[in-house]
Structure 1
Amino acid sequence: MVFVYASDEVVTRAWIAQLPGFSTEMVGEQLPSDNSSWAASGFVTVTWAGGNTVPEYRLESPVMLVQAWANQPGIARPPWEKARNLALAVQAGIYSYDPWLLELPNCSEDAEVKTAYVVGKPRRVYGDFGDYAGYTLDLVLNWTPVAKSTP
């Protein structure tokens, strides 16, 4: 059996998915190709943008680029308010109780997020994304791997 390590992307997706108003279906590493599947809820993508590791005890401190997306199929006006609210909901999540113990499906280990904070404020994503609205923020999660509990 292959040991599957927890990664910054997996931990960030799990951390966002446990926030109020989010689910695992709303968070991924890329937008779903069918934009009608996430039009009602919006979608959040996560990408590693930097950070470091404390090698003595594997404290991971990634800076994650979090992008909140919204769309309204058939309407030419991007729903900026919805995308902004998703980004603000992620930012608000840093003020909830910590540390967070996260069960990571498809990984051989779980993770404990010790602290979370954002660098800067959410800002609009500009570009040729058609009728999509996007906001981005930089999220830092300080986390350590945890052995899976066995029943």
Structure 2
Amino acid sequence: MTTVTPRANSELVAVAWLGSAAGIDPGQVATTLPSDASTWADDGFLQVTPGIGGSMQLHYALREPVVQVEAYAVNVNSGKPPWGKAASLMEAVVAATYDEAGMQRTLTLRPGFPQARVLTAHLLTEPRRMPDDAASYARYVTDLALHWIEL
């Protein structure tokens, strides 16, 4: 029986890159929104959905995915969505795409996986407000293009 070697993937890279950006805590980013809103109510949460689009280079190992990023905020004691908190969290994502010092750095992924490096990152869409959430969450959505390599 052969053992499959863990490899970096766009989901892991996007979560690690966002979690290493200024103003964003690594615990604020994942592919699944935590069910207990009280655990992220203070600072908000970023959910990453891979597979929105993108491509891979034919002759060398450069990945160019597009991932969806959703910034969530909630008032656990009120039904009023905290739009300002969600907007501020999304603006931290926007700022990260302009932070040249934040590019080209080595990212540590989950244990057992190789490291990766994001070469560039940019938004493909202006962050947009998503009203009428049944849970009264404030939510902004954007599409993020990453260019990364496995190390």
TM-score, with structure 2 as normaliser: 0.91
Instruction: State the match for 2:16 in structure 1.
Output: 14
Aligned to 2:32: 30
- Structure 2: runs of 5 or more not aligned: none
Matched, 1:89 2:95: no
Report what 2:115 is aligned to: 110
* Paired letter, 2:46: V
Matches of 1:108 and 1:55, distance apart in 2? 23
Deviation at residue 107 of structure 1 after TM alignment: 4.1
Residue 99 of structure 1 corresponds to 104
Q: Is the 8 A contact 2:12 2:110 kept in 1?
A: no
Q: What SS does structure 1 have at the residue aligned with 2:34?
A: coil
Q: Tell me what 2:79 maps to.
A: 76
CA RMSD of aligned residues (A): 1.2
Deviation at 1:103, TM superposition (A): 1.2
* Alpha-carbon distance, 1:46 to partner: 0.4
Alignment partners' CA distance in 1, 2:96 and 2:134: 27
The worse-fitting range, judged by mean Cα deviation, of 31-40 and 98-107 is 98-107
Any unmatched runs of 5+ in structure 1?
147-151
Q: Using structure 1 for the length normalisation, give the TM-score.
A: 0.91
